[in-house]
Structure 1
Amino acid sequence: MKMDNDIKQAIGIFKALGEENRMKITKILVTENNLCCTEISRELESIAGSTLSHHLKILTECGILSTYKDGTYKYYQVDHELLKRFAPFVLE
């Protein structure tokens, strides 16, 4: 049933955004799309690389972020349509 899938997706998105650093990462990528882990790390204060990777994984798994590789770098971008639908506040 579509409603059940929407509810499950919304719960995953809200759980992911319920953590302060993940909200900050998402807000950074809303304004500066297509950043690699190193560039995101520069925007945040005192967050370990492994912790950042964990947050990026959670945001990607719930659909907020998508990735692409260019050489050895993995770049992250926000799914604006998903955020418009489930969490429009993040886009402000």
Structure 2
Amino acid sequence: MDVNQIVKIHKALGDSTRYKIIQTIGKGNCLCAGQLGCDLDGIPSSTLSHHLKQLSDCGIIIPEKQGTYIFYKLNEDIIRKFVPYLCDSDSTIEPKL
């Protein structure tokens, strides 16, 4: 992994909205934007789309097109390396957002 990719990942993780998106996808395993929008009340769909693109571009989430929908799932390799406490179901770490 190159330095630019690592910087992108850290920038993406530094935003509280993107962190909430990562947590929500982690709980739901594989979600489409509509499902995420329902779970993350108050985020306009255009803003959600922007955040999903940022997370996808740095490799934290993986988009998968299924019919007319795009579903998002966590890239477990990246998550284990940069946010390992999201993989631990017994984790009690809750960042202050």
Q: What stretches of structure 1 move > 4 A for 4+ residues in a row?
A: none
Equivalent position to 1:66, from 56, 62, 68: 62
1:11 and 1:88 mapped to 2: Cα distance?
A: 17
| 1:90 alignment partner AA | L
Higher RCO (C-alpha 8 Å, min separation 6) = 1
Q: Which has the higher helix share?
A: 1
Once the two structures are superposed, the pairs formed by residues 10-89 of structure 1 within 5 Å of their partners are: 10-89=6-85
Report the number of matched residues: 88
1:42 and 1:79 mapped to 2: Cα distance?
A: 22
| 2:45 alignment partner AA | G
Shift of 1:63: 0.1
Q: TM-score normalized by structure 2?
A: 0.83
Q: Identity over aligned residues, as a percent?
A: 38
Q: Which runs of 5+ in 2 are unaligned?
A: 89-97
Q: TM-score normalized by structure 1?
A: 0.87
CA RMSD of aligned residues (A): 1.3
- 1:65–1:76 CA contact under 8 A, matched in 2: yes
